């Protein structure tokens, strides 16, 4: 049942080229420059007139929400807030009929996310769901939604569900942009043509497995680890840190790279591995200066770089290449080596990868 893999988590990591493809299937039309999302089609007109989107979720799904914020604001130009469901539900948030709430949940059973939906619904908001488990409680509570179609996820650490959530949010951002006329046909065709190549590029990113395993062996005894990124690399860093802490029990933190100098830089010494998302995109040069700050303090730098990169490679201790892509799709590729890194470290430390201590696959209590 693990398909020849030692753990469900590794199997699910390797399933991602297929799960991302399944998630896009029948939804993108690159030649036409169109996205179709049958699940929210009935609200296509409503989307032209909304004031704001509030994304509610927990854990990894909340990280996917942060990626969604970048994409929706960039392409559809709708203001987005991303909220922890547990915090949102106990505030007295301002919600109106012109708000759309997007609830993200792999299991569709998370108690706090369900309560947040119920509250927003009472206040008149339109609720969309992004869920993986068909027929779960959350899809039944929402007005409309888009399934991630990643297939059953058994490992407690979410991997393929995360990349599928990010894929759906990408499609939603493009769909909303299409309804609101905030994106040109030419640009849409260009983006969708590139998106179609992402599953193959995820496959190429998986080819770093052996190298990542080697790097894992070099840093497995660390007691702390930092993950840094900018732009949509920031939620990727948060997700990398969560993966590492939940399955290897190494204390890890994700930070926006520029925030480092406001505190976390004090932690850096020759024992501290620092993982950077340092791909060649709009924040490349800025990330390079952050890498210099860490190297000047003798931190051990592991960088996720774009294929063919030389500049970062020459500055860091270890680098892992991922294929070049449009910045919009960067999180889908940059996440892959981080999943593998936490997996190999956890295995080397003798941890129960698929069922980490104290954790359950779905958190049905608040
Ligand atoms: O089923 P959900 O997506 O609502 O679950 C939310 C979190 O409990 C979940 O993402 C958790 O953080 C995972 N263990 C992360 O790997």
Q: Is the ipTM of this complex over 0.90?
A: yes
Question: What mean pLDDT is predicted for residues 68-87?
Answer: 98
Residue with the two structure tokens 């980490």: 356
- Identify any residues that bridge with 83 across adjacent strands, giving them in sequence order: 56
Residue 256 near residue 268 (C-beta atoms within 8 A): no
Cα 177 to ligand 1 centroid, rounded to whole Å = 28
Ligand 1: centre distance to CA 293 (Å): 33
Interval 171-205: pLDDT, tens: 999 999 999 999 999 999 999 999 999 999 999 99
* Residue identifier of the C-alpha nearest atom 12 of ligand 1: 59
String of DSSP letters for 145-158? EEE-------SSS-
Q: What is the DSSP letter of 81?
A: E
Would the pLDDT of 362 be above 90? Answer: no
- Give the pTM: 0.98
| CB contact set of 56 (below 8 Å; sequence gap of 6+) | 65, 83, 84, 85, 88, 101, 102, 103, 104, 113, 116, 117, 120
Distance of CA 158 from the midpoint of ligand 1 (Å): 7
Pairing of strands 28-29, 300-306: unpaired
Pocket test for ligand 1, best of 104, 110, 353 (most atoms within 8 A of CB): 110
Helices 233-248 and 59-71: angle between axes, nearest 10 degrees:
170
- pLDDT tops 90 at residue 341: yes
pLDDT of residue 216 exceeding 90, the answer is: yes
Distance 164 CA to ligand 1 centre (A): 13
Give 302's strand partners: 275, 318
What is the distance in A from the centroid of ligand 1 to the CA of 61? 6
pLDDT of residue 325: 98
SS3 state at 321:
strand
Nearest-atom number in ligand 1 for the CA of 159 is 16
Q: Looking at ligand 1, which atom is closest to the CA of residue 161?
A: 3
Asked if pLDDT for residue 60 goes beyond 90, the answer is yes
**Residues annotated as part of the active site:** 361
Q: How far is the CA of 206 from the centre of ligand 1 (A)?
A: 23
- For ligand 1, residues with CB inside 6 Å are 58-61, 105-107, 110, 113, 156-158, 246, 359, 362-363
Ligand 1 atom nearest to CA at 243 = 16
The pLDDT confidence band at residue 366, using thresholds 50, 70 and 90, is confident
Q: Whose CA is closest to atom 11 on ligand 1?
A: 59
First to last CA, the chain: 32
What are the pLDDT digits (tens) for 238-291?
A: 999 999 999 999 999 999 999 999 999 999 999 999 999 999 999 999 999 999
Listed in sequence order, the residues at least 6 apart from 172 whose beta carbon sits closer than 8 Å to its beta carbon are: 37, 40, 68, 72, 102, 128, 130, 146
């Amino acid at each position: 049942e693990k398909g020849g893999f030692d753990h469900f988590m590794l199997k699910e990591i390797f399933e991602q080229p297929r799960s991302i493809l399944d998630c896009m299937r029948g939804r993108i039309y690159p030649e036409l420059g169109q996205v179709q999302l049958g699940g929210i089609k009935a609200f296509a007109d409503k989307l032209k007139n909304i004031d704001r989107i509030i994304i509610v979720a927990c854990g990894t799904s909340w990280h996917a929400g942060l990626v969604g914020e970048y994409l929706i604001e960039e392409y559809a130009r709708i203001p987005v807030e991303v909220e922890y469901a547990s915090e949102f539900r106990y505030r007295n948030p301002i919600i109106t009929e012109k708000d759309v709430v997007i609830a993200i949940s792999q299991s569709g059973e998370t108690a706090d996310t369900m309560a947040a939906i119920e509250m927003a619904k009472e206040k008149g908001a339109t609720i969309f769901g992004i869920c993986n488990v068909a027929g779960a409680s959350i899809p039944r509570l929402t007005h409309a939604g888009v399934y991630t179609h990643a297939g059953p996820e058994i490992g407690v650490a979410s991997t393929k569900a995360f990349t599928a959530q990010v894929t759906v949010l990408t499609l939603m951002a493009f769909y909303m942009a299409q309804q609101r006329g905030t994106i040109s046909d030419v640009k849409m065709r260009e983006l969708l043509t590139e998106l179609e190549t992402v599953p193959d590029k995820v496959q190429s990113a998986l080819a770093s497995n052996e190298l990542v395993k080697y790097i894992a062996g070099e840093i497995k005894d660390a007691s702390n680890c930092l993950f840094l990124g900018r732009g949509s690399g920031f939620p990727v860093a948060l997700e990398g840190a969560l993966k590492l802490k939940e399955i290897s029990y190494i204390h890890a933190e994700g930070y926006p790279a520029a925030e480092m100098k406001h505190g976390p830089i004090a932690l850096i010494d020759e024992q501290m591995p620092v993982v950077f998302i340092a791909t060649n995109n709009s924040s490349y040069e800025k990330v390079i200066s952050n890498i210099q700050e860490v190297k000047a303090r003798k931190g051990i730098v592991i960088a996720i770089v774009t294929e063919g990169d030389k500049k970062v490679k020459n500055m860091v201790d270890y680098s892992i290449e991922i294929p070049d892509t449009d910045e919009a799709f960067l999180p889908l590729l940059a996440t892959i080596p981080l999943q593998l890194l936490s997996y190999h470290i956890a295995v080397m430390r003798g941890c129960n990868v698929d069922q980490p201590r104290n954790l359950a696959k779905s958190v049905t209590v608040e």
